[in-house]
Chain A
Amino acid sequence: MALLELENVHVYYGNIHALKGISIQVEEGEVVAMLGANGAGKTTTLRTISGLLRPREGRVHLRGESIDTMPPHVIVHKGVGHAPEGRRIFARLTVEENLMMGAYARADPHGIKEDLDRVFALFPRLKERISQVAGTLSGGEQQMLAIGRALMARPRILLLDEPSMGLAPVLVEQIFETLKTINTQGTTILLVEQNAYMALTIAARGYVLQTGEIALSGKAAELQANEEVRRAYLGG
C-alpha cells in the first residue's frame, strides 16, 4: 500500500478547473519530485493533500485511509507535514515559538525535545537565532525555519513547495543536502520544484504537471534524459 495516493483528483477554483484528474503515488521512504511550469497546479495539489482545498471528485488516501474530507489540523495529526509556498513563517513569533507551533499537535514533551535537537542539528543557524523574531531572519534562514517547523510535527510525509525559491545557489545546494539527510532519517518527501535539475538529483521518481494534468511520470533518470523535460525544465 502506498503511503500517499491521489486517485483521479479534480479541484476547482470557482469555475476554473485547476486539477483535471491527477493520480499520484508516493511510497514509504521515497523522495518524489513534482515539476511543472508556473500555474501547472503543483501548489494546488499540495494544498489539496493538506486539506486546504477539497477535491470535487477523486480521493486522497494516506496509508489506505481516505483523508480528503478531513480538516487540515487533523490531516497534520495523521502525519502530513507541509512547508507551504513562500515560507509563510510566523513573522512576529520567535524562532523557538515557530518551531513549537510546528509541534502543536503533539503531546510528548520528550519526543518534541528530540525533534528540536534534530532540527538544530540539521540547521545550526536556527539554534543561534532561537529567540530572534522570525520576521527578521534572512530569506535562507526563513526557509530553514519553514522546513524545520514542518519537521517538528514528526510527519511521515513532508510536502515541500519550492524550498529553493529566491535562494542563492550555494544555499540551494545546502538545503537539498539537508533534504537528503531528512529523507535518510526516515521521512518521505514530496517535493515541488521549479529547479528541476536539483529536484531530480535527490528524487527517485518524478511527475511532470501541465495545466492541471500529469503529462509525464517516471524514474528521475528517465525524466532527466527525456527530450521534452530537458527542453522545458532543464534548459537544454
Chain B
Amino acid sequence: MQRSFLQRFSIVGLYLWGFRISVLLIVVWGSFGTFQAGCPSVFTLCAFKSRYSADVWLDLLVYGLSQGSVYALIALGYTMVYGILRMINFAHGDVFMAGAYTAYYLAAAFGRAGFLNRHPLLSLAAVLALAMITAMSIALVLERVAYRPLRRAPRLIPLISAIGASFFIEYAFRGFFGSGFQAYPEWQIFKGEWAIAGVGILRTQAVVIVAAVALMVVLYGFVMRTKTGTAMRAVSEDLEVASLMGIDVDRVIVITFGIGGAAAGAAGVLYALVFKQVHFFMGFFPGIKAFTAAVLGGIGNIPGAMLGGVFLGIFESMGPILILEGLRVPGIYPGGIPAPYQLKDVIAFTMLVMVLIFRPSGILGERLATKKA
C-alpha cells in the first residue's frame, strides 16, 4: 500500500506531469496567440482573418502532407525490419539517399537530352525505377553483410553495425561523388500550380503525394493480401514457428529488406523533387524523422508507420506557425517567437521524446519495452 503510494507520487512522476502540463500550456498559449494576433480585442478569436489566410494554412497542410508521405514511405522500412528482427536499421536513411543520389545521374542525363520534358511521366518512372532498384540492392547487401552474420548476437551489436554501415554508405558516396550539393533537374510540367477544386496546389507536391500514396497502397496490399505478405506477418509474430510452417525465414527477411529499400529509394526521388538537390548527407534528417514517425505510429506496425509519417509531416509544417509564432514570451519575445520555421526540427524531436516518455507503444502499436526484449 505504502509502496504504491510512493510510486504514484514519486519525484519523477511529478516532474513528468509538470512536463506534460507545460507542453500543453505552451501549445494552447501559442496557438491562441497565433489565431488572435491582429484581433481587436484579446478576447476575440478571429482566426484566418489574422496574418495568415486560409490559403496559407492550406498550403502548409499540403506541404505537410507531401513531406509526411515521404516520411511514411521511409518509415515503412524501419517498421517492417523492426517487426521481424526487432532491430533498428539505422542505415536506412542512407539507403534513401543512395536511391535519390544514383537516380540523379539518370535524371541529369535525361535533362541534358531533353527527354525529361519530352516524356515527363516516362522519365519520372525511369528515374523512380532506378532509385528503387539501387536502394533495394544496397539494402540487400546491407542485410547480407552487416546484419545477417550478427543475427544471433546480443541486440546492441547489430545496432552498432548499422551505425557503421550508415557512415560507410555516406562516405562512400562522398568519396565517389563529392561533398557538394547536386541540383536535381526540374520537370517543366511539374512547375507551378494545379487548380484542384478551386484551390491552387503546387504541382510537385501533388505529384509527391499521389506517387507516395500509390506506392503505399500497393505495398499494403502486398503485405495484407499475398501469400508472401502473410508470411512476412507470420515471421514478425513468431519467427521460430514460422519456420515450422515451412517458411524460409531468411528469404522473408531478404524480401522485407528489399521492399523497405525500394520504398526508401522511391521516397528519395520524391524528396529530391521537392528540395531539388541531393547531397551525401541528405539521408540523415529524413531518416531520423521517419524513424520518429515509425515510433509515433507504433514501431513494427505498418499502418502505424504510414499514419505516423503523415502526422509528423503535417505537425512539422503547421506546428511552428501554429504554436510558436504566437508564443509571446514576456520580456524576451513579446511579439511571439521570430522565424519559427527554423524550429520545426525542434518540434519534431520534442514529439519523439514525448512519445517515448508518455506512450512508448505509439499510436497503434503494442508496448515497445515488453515485446520480446
On whether A93 and B244 interact (CB within 8 A), knowing A73-B249, A104-B227, the answer reads no
Do A105 and B246 touch across chains, with their CB atoms under 8 A apart?
yes
* Contact between chains at B244 and A76 (CB < 8 Å): yes
The answer for the CA separation of A51 and B249 in the assembled complex, in Å, is 13
Is A82's beta carbon under 8 Å from chain B?
yes
- Complex partner residue of A101 from B230, B240, B248, B249, CB under 8 angstroms: B230
Given A73-B249, A101-B245, A105-B246: A92 in contact with B233 (beta carbons within 8 A): yes
Write the nearest CB–CB distance from A24 to chain B, whole angstroms. 19
> Which residues of chain A from 61 to 81 have any CB-CB distance to chain B below 8 Å in the complex?
71-73, 76-77
How would residues 99 to 111 of chain A score, 1 for a CB under 8 Å from any chain B CB and 0 otherwise?
0111011100000
Q: How far is it, in angstroms, between the C-alpha of A105 and the C-alpha of B237 when the chains are bound?
A: 18
A100, B227: Cβ atoms closer than 8 Å: yes
Contacts of B241 in A (CB 8 A): 84, 88, 90
Kindly list chain A residues whose C-beta atoms are within 8 Å of the C-beta of B242: 101
Q: Which residues of B contact A100 (CB under 8 A)?
A: 227, 230
Chain B residue at minimum C-beta to C-beta distance from A80: B244
State the main secondary structure of chain A at its contact with B. loop
**100-130 of chain A: CB within 8 A of chain B:** 100-102, 104-106
Chain B nearest Cβ from A203, distance in angstroms: 23
Inside 8 A of B248's CB, which chain A residues have their CB?
71, 73
- Whether B243 and A101, one on each chain, are in contact in the complex, defined by CB atoms closer than 8 angstroms, is no
The reply to whether B237 and A90 form a contact with Cβ atoms under 8 Å apart is: yes
- As a 0/1 sequence over residues 216 to 258 of chain B, the CB contacts with chain A under 8 angstroms (1 = contact) are 0000000000010011011001101111111111000000000
Could you tell me which residues of chain A, from 14 to 47, have a CB within 8 Å of some CB in chain B? none
Determine if B246 and A104 form an interchain contact, defined as CB atoms under 8 angstroms apart: yes
* A97 close to B (CB within 8 Å): yes
For residue A149, CB closer than 8 A to chain B, the reply is: yes
Partner of A76, one of B234, B237, B245: B245
The closest CB in chain A to the CB of B240 belongs to A52
A1 at the binding interface (Cβ < 8 Å): no
| A187 is an interface residue with CB less than 8 A from chain B | no
Contact A77 B246 (CB under 8 A): yes
Of all chain B residues, which has the CB nearest A71?
B243
From A77, A93, A106, give the contact of B230 (CB < 8 A): A93
Q: Give Cα A204–Cα B249 distance, bound, in whole angstroms.
A: 36
Contacts of B243 in A (CB 8 A): 51-52, 71-73, 76
Residues on A with beta carbons closer than 8 Å to the beta carbon of B237: 90-93
Residue A50 CB within 8 A of the other chain: yes
Which residues of chain A are within 8 angstroms of B230 by Cβ–Cβ distance?
93, 97, 100-101
- Shortest C-beta distance, B304 to chain A (Å), equals 13
Contact count band on A: 20 to 34
Binary per-residue interface labels of chain B (243-284) against chain A in the complex, 1 for a CB within 8 Å, 0 otherwise = 111111100000000000000000000000000000000000
- With the chains together, A77 CA to B247 CA distance in Å? 10
Is A157 at the interface (CB under 8 A from chain B)?
no
Inter-chain CA distance A71–B241, complex, in Å, is 13
Asked if B233 and A72 sit within 8 Å, CB to CB, the answer is: no
Question: In whole angstroms, how far apart are the Cα atoms of A184 and B367 in the complex?
Answer: 45
Residues of B within 8 A of A97 (CB): 230, 233-234
| Residues of A close to B249: CB separation below 8 A | 73
B233 with A93: CB separation less than 8 A:
yes
**Bound-state Cα–Cα, A227 to B202, Å:** 86
Whether B247 pairs with A104 at a CB distance below 8 angstroms is yes
The winner among B230, B234, B242, B245 for most chain A CB atoms within 10 A is B245
Q: Name which residue of chain B comes closest to A96, CB basis.
A: B230
List the B side residues contacting A82 at CB < 8 Å.
244
User: Is A160 interfacial (CB 8 A cutoff)?
Assistant: no
User: A153 interface residue, CB < 8 Å from B?
Assistant: yes
Q: Are B234 and A93 in contact (CB under 8 A)?
A: yes
Which of B227, B230, B249 gathers the greatest number of chain A CB atoms within 10 Å? B230
A52 touches B244 (CB 8 A): yes
Across the interface, A73 reaches (CB within 8 A) one of B234, B238, B247, namely B247
In the bound complex, CA of A159 to CA of B230 (Å): 24
Complex Cα–Cα for A34 and B241 (A): 21
B238 touches A72 (CB 8 A): no
Q: Is A149's CB under 8 angstroms from B233's CB?
A: no
B238 contact set on A, CB distance < 8 A: 88, 90
In the bound complex, residues from chain B placing their C-beta under 8 Å from that of A106 are 246
Q: What residues of chain A lie closer than 8 Å to B245, measured between beta carbons?
A: 73, 76, 101-102, 104-105, 149, 153
- Residue among B238, B242, B243 having the largest count of chain A Cβ atoms under 10 Å: B243
Complex contacts, B244 vs chain A, CB 8 Å: 50, 52, 72, 76, 82, 84, 150
Q: Give CA–CA (A91, B371) in the complex, Å.
A: 14
Pairwise interchain contact B233-A153, C-beta atoms closer than 8 A:
no
Residues of A contacting B247 in the complex (Cβ-Cβ under 8 angstroms): 73, 101, 104-105
22 A-B contacts (beta carbon < 8 Å): A50-B244, A52-B243, A52-B244, A71-B243, A72-B240, A73-B246, A73-B247, A76-B243, A76-B245, A88-B241, A90-B233, A90-B238, A91-B237, A93-B230, A100-B230, A101-B234, A102-B245, A104-B247, A105-B246, A106-B246, A149-B245, A150-B244
- Apart from A52-B243, A101-B242, what are 11 other A-B pairs with CB-CB below 8 Å? A50-B244, A51-B243, A72-B243, A82-B244, A92-B237, A97-B230, A97-B234, A100-B227, A101-B234, A104-B247, A105-B246
The 6 closest A-B pairs by CB, nearest first: A105-B246, A76-B246, A72-B243, A101-B245, A88-B241, A104-B246
Chain A residues within CB distance 8 Å of chain B: 50-52, 71-73, 76-77, 82, 84, 88, 90-93, 97, 100-102, 104-106, 149-150, 153
